[in-house]
Amino acid sequence: DLMPSLSTIPTASVAKALQIIESQPPAETQPPEGPPAASIPPPQAPGSSDGPFVLAVAVAEFDRLRSRVKDVVSQCCTYPVTVTLQDYHSLTEWTAVSNDTLMGEVGLSGSPTSLITAVGEHLLSLVPHLESHSQQHQQQQQQVANQTPVSPAHGPQESGASVWLPRVLGSVGSTLLAKAAQIERLSSGGLRQLATDLSYIQKVIEALGGAAEIVDLTTCLDAMQKQLQPKGGAQGQPPARDQPSADG
């Protein structure tokens, strides 16, 4: 056996060997083989190079969501008008016979229909509601502005009734024009009534600061009304196209 046993090794030799081992510095661990450390790029902070792109995407998404919110608010405010005007095109007032001579003598143009009056009252009731929403929104924007810089494009000046109301008024005007276009027959009295309704809504929209999209149609109806008045005769009868034929 080539390996000697502990009993054959002198004790002094063992002690001397231990002293030599303890006096030597510990062996250094060899690093694993691989490319030099200088060739490995240092880790970068997350998103440091993509910051501008991520910010642009976030701003675009914010604008999309803000536009969607405006659409939802406009739809919620306009929905009662859509329901109210559901049967507007089929009112009996459009074919009713009115006393045009009496109306002309007293200088009256009639009163708006109950449906149109309800629409006007609804629009007027939106003002305090949207103003209350505006105050809450501005307070929230102010809290955000105190913590994070807010760009002018997204500042509180764009919030509130100044944003919501014009969209609602434009939608109401478009809805009313669409329903008026569905009216199939108009007597002279019906034409007068329609002109009165449109004129009423036009005044409400203008009073609330909206763009009156129905002004052109109102002017057209006034011109048609003047053309139809001579055809009605002295008794204020509707135009000939609304009169039943002699054959029944």
For 155-166, what is the mean pLDDT?
Answer: 60
**Residue position matching structure tokens 């143009």:** 109
Q: Report the distance separating Cα 226 and Cα 229, nearest Å.
A: 5
Query: With bands split at pLDDT 50, 70 and 90, how would you rate the model's confidence at 121?
Result: very high
Give the type of residue at 231.
K
Q: 26-35, 50-59, 94-103, 138-147 — which one is most confidently predicted on average?
A: 50-59
Q: By C-alpha distance, which of 110, 113, 108 is closest to 180? A: 113
Q: Give the confidence band of 70 by pLDDT, cuts at 50, 70, 90.
A: confident
Q: Which of 27-41, 75-89, 103-117 has the lowest mean pLDDT?
A: 27-41
Higher pLDDT, 217 or 4: 217
User: Is it the case that residue 86 has pLDDT exceeding 70?
Assistant: yes
Average pLDDT, the chain: 69
**Most confidently predicted of 64-68, 152-156, 190-194:** 190-194
Q: pLDDT tens across 126-136, in order?
A: 888 777 765 55
CB under 8 A, 24+ apart: contacts of 243-247: none
Contact residues for 102 (Cβ-Cβ < 8 A; gap 6+): 236
CB 185 within 8 A of CB 94: yes
Q: Is the pLDDT of residue 65 over 50?
A: yes
Domain ranges of the chain: 58-238
Angle of CA points 146, 149, 153, to nearest 5°: 120
CA atoms of 90 and 219, how far apart (whole Å): 22
